[in-house]
Chain A
Amino acid sequence: MLQNALTHQQFAVTAELAPPKGWDFSHQIQVAKTLQRQVHGINVTDMQSACLKASSLGLCIALKQAGLEPILQITGRDRNRMGIVSDLLSAAAFGIDTVLCLTGDHPKVGDHPGAKPVYDLDSVGILQAVRQMEEGRDCGGSPLSGTPPTFFKGAVVTPVYEPLALQILKLRQKVDAGAQFIQTQCVFQTDQLTRLLDAMDKARITVPVMAGVLPLKSAGMARYMNEKVPGVTVPADQLQRLEEAAQEGRRTGVKGLAQRLGIQMAAELIAQIRDAGLCAGVHVMAVGAEEQVPKILALAGL
């Protein structure tokens, strides 16, 4: 579905969804169903921020069985090359055909700091392993039985990064290793994105880019992201507008003004990206507020 949209140069939209820290997927499936008509894929995280959740593969299978279009995120943090290829074969068996390959946040920053980090393969290595699977071989070079699986493969890039040239060098490796789309860490204004796109142009890296968009819920969240989340910078004016909205809420007794503003700012950014034709699509990361995504997309005119 995502591949189709990108191939036909439709403005592509994906939404991020995290599995629960538990085994009841009903909320996730219900949220995903409300998104179905507006997105080209539901991107299921693989224990993001290194916090334990049900597996991406498990929720992807559940979504697929509910008739939805999941995108499997797979990191190198918890599985070695055997675990990764094995999970990808299972994903293929359930008709999951789109994967996003990432290195993964280190266990030390998550809720199991004592867990052994694996990193047998990084994002580039995972892409290479997928390509090898598509050629009918596992990482050990042994033949796979039956028809090899085919995946639409994605990778990520961090646009707010110094020196950006170093990100571009790794991005080139990801694309050479088979990445067919690139999803960015979240951006909050178009110049954060155009800086990356210009650098990609100069490096002659031509691959569809999905801009990461995150609706902020509060000034506190924005400050937290600026301080703690690598590769994310919320501009000062947006932080100020969120603070003013919260103040107004306190004055008037109206709840949720900052969140409403965050939704509006995200929708405005999506509309700007689409109207200016900056990149191939957007990836909305609502981090726990997924039920707001249909509203954001509607406000953006999608």
Chain B
Amino acid sequence: MIITVKKPLPELLEMLGGAKKVAIVGCDSCAAACRTGGAPEIDQMAQALEDRGFQVVARVLPQECCHKLLVRKELKVLPDTGVEAVVCLACGSGVQTVADNVCLPVYPANDTSFLGQVERVGIFHEYCRMCGQCVLGRTGGICPVTRCAKGLVDGPCGGQKNGKCEVDPENDCAWIAIYERLKALGREDLLFSPAPIRDHSAQAHPKHLDLRGTKP
């Protein structure tokens, strides 16, 4: 799940500048779950814009806003509306997918925050940073790249206080959690030696994956 949070409305209004006729595009997947881009949020956004003198000429809710072909089909309604700008209530990937399909300014209404675990409806936690070199096999299934603020892979810094992180005392020290988990599993030996030095070329952006070019 891609976690998004709403930008402050003034930031969006500044981006919109002189445009008057706007279309709103949401996303019925992640952004809907994050309450940033589902049907209710599209209506709220339309109301907020109309209250400020904008004319909302179209509302579109693709099932997945990051799906290029799907979005292309859904946006076919736009050219006939006289739309001057699009407000997109999806993640960054969704905003760009919309922008790829229209010859109009597309403005993000959200900030894209993290890849989230869903603890329960409306509660999300960052568990994976998509680093491209999974270390979970040696850390008891708890990711230090993500859940340690410094992303340390060899063990803790000295900065925890009462089990909480020096960077944000709301967060538990990931390394204490890893140690306790490994101890429970009888695998403290995994911490006897350092992890391999990380290969950050695995994080070179942008990344692509093409499953069509090769056959198994």
Contacts and interface: CB of A to CB of B under 8 A. Distances in A.
Is the pairing of A and B real? yes
Given A106-B167, A166-B175, A170-B154, A125 B197 contact: yes
B176 interface: yes
A173 interface: yes
A139 B156 contact: no
Contacts of B149: 106, 108, 117
Nearest to A170: B155
Interface residues of B, number: 28
Interface string A121-139: 1111100100000000001
B151 interface: yes
Interface stretch (A19-27, A157-165, A259-267): A157-165
A125 B194 contact: yes
A196 to B, nearest CB: 12
Contact of A172 (B151, B176, B179, B192): B192
A245 interface: no
Contacts of A108: 149, 167-168
A163 B176 contact: yes
Contact residues on A (Cβ < 8 Å of other chain), bracket:
35 or more
A176 interface: yes
B150 A117 contact: yes
Interface of B: 149-161, 163, 166-168, 175-176, 179, 188, 191-194, 197-198, 200
Interface of A: 80-81, 103, 105-106, 108-109, 117, 119-125, 128, 139, 156-158, 161-163, 165-167, 169-170, 172-173, 176-177, 185, 230-231
20 contacts: A108-B149, A108-B167, A119-B152, A122-B153, A123-B154, A124-B155, A157-B158, A165-B188, A166-B155, A166-B175, A166-B191, A167-B158, A169-B192, A170-B155, A172-B192, A173-B194, A176-B194, A230-B159, A230-B161, A230-B166
